[in-house]
Amino acid sequence: MVRVTSLLEKMGLVYGRQEGSLGEPSTTAVPPPTAEVRAGAPPLAAPPEPEVRLDEATLSQTPAGEDWAIEQIYASAGIQAPAHGFTVYRLIELLEGEEFRDLDAATRAKVIVGVLKRLPSGAVEVEDIVRDAAARDRALDAFERFLSERVRRQERETEEKNAALQQQIDELTVTNTQLMEANRAAVAQEKARLERWRLRKREEEERLFSAISPFVERNPVTRDEAPSAVPSKP
């Protein structure tokens, strides 16, 4: 599972929440935890995330064989940029700038927090960017579940259709086999009738030949020779 939020964690922008005097999240940057804290304390549990509902009807209209655009998936999940417009992609753009390439993760985190506090359009909380990234990640996960279920459903439907087609093939095979056997039987019947006729013909020709034989030198009646018996195989 690809996590968009992993970039924020790698950059050191997410270390937990610091409580203020009124129980609200502090607007100041939270320093990275020390090695002792990391080793001795478990990570803070993340709050339950809201369920993502995709517009499956719109997604299903994408033609077969055509891939979905990432933006299309986000739109289907109702993902909207924060009011200040600073999304996780703006953060990624900052991190990919030349100014940050030679900085270590901790320094980059401090610089980014400072930049976010001093934006001309107003301060931006890191938590807003984290929520934006997490929402997009949940949309990607939801879409993967949607697509997996779509594939499983198509597999089931295809198996049912193929089973029905195979049944038709089997039934047609039985029917056609019976027709083929009937056709061969009809041919065999005609062959037997032909052989019976030839026997009668030879008998009749023999009678005609014998009747006029004493009165002619050259008998005009033709006689077919009886077929020679085929020797049986030892």
180-202: per-residue pLDDT in tens?
A: 999 999 999 999 999 999 999 99
Q: How many angstroms separate the Cα of 147 from the Cα of each of 56, 97, 226? A: 10, 35, 78
The DSSP letter of residue 25 is B
Task: Please indicate whether residue 124 or residue 55 has the higher confidence score (pLDDT).
Answer: 124
Q: Which two tokens stand for residue 116?
A: 């976010």
E strands, the chain, where?
none
Average pLDDT, the chain: 78
Question: Which residues, 6 or more positions from 92, have their beta carbon under 8 angstroms from its beta carbon?
Answer: 7
Residue 36: pLDDT over 60: no
What span, in angstroms and rounded, lies between the C-alpha atoms of 169 and 190? 31
Task: Please indicate whether residue 170 or residue 111 has the higher confidence score (pLDDT).
Answer: 170
Tell me the average pLDDT across 148-169. Answer: 96
Question: Which residues, 6 or more positions from 85, have their beta carbon under 8 angstroms from its beta carbon?
Answer: 121
Q: How many angstroms separate the Cα of 62 from the Cα of each of 55, 69, 154, 158? A: 12, 10, 15, 20
Task: Please indicate whether residue 72 or residue 171 has the higher confidence score (pLDDT).
Answer: 171
Report CA dihedral (76, 79, 83, 84) to the nearest 10 degrees. Answer: -120
Tell me the average pLDDT across 205-230. Answer: 87
pTM of the model as a whole = 0.56
